[in-house]
Structure 1
């Protein structure tokens, strides 16, 4: 299992993407979300949504263009 970046999103949007993927049985995790809060710049720093490389194509297909 190797994690790859699905995309970078605003903090709230990243949480919605992870929830939607989870509802379709795709595990996802957030990178950088807590760091941006600690630095006080959570509106400026995008949060990375990471998925297993085997799930990347399916996850991309679920996202709107």
Structure 2
């Protein structure tokens, strides 16, 4: 299992929303750097990275595209 970056978010809240959506569709993900983003929702610090298994990357991207289209 190799983790790859799915997306970056300016806040942990945004990353958590997508994380939950992926989890609901059976795709495991993990957020990196949530503790480093100390200016929560300001986005001026280190962005929160949402990581998925490389085998799930295409499916995760499709889920995000579908969510954005709604």
Work out whether the TM-score is over 0.5. Answer: yes
Q: RCO (CA 8 Å, sep 6+): is it higher in 1 or 2?
A: 1
For 1:35 and 1:50, the matched residues in 2 are separated by 16
Gaps of 5+ in 1: none
The alignment's C-alpha RMSD in Å is 1.2
For 2:60 and 2:17, the matched residues in 1 are separated by 13
Point out 4+ residue stretches in structure 1 off by more than 4 angstroms: none
TM-score by length of 1: 0.85
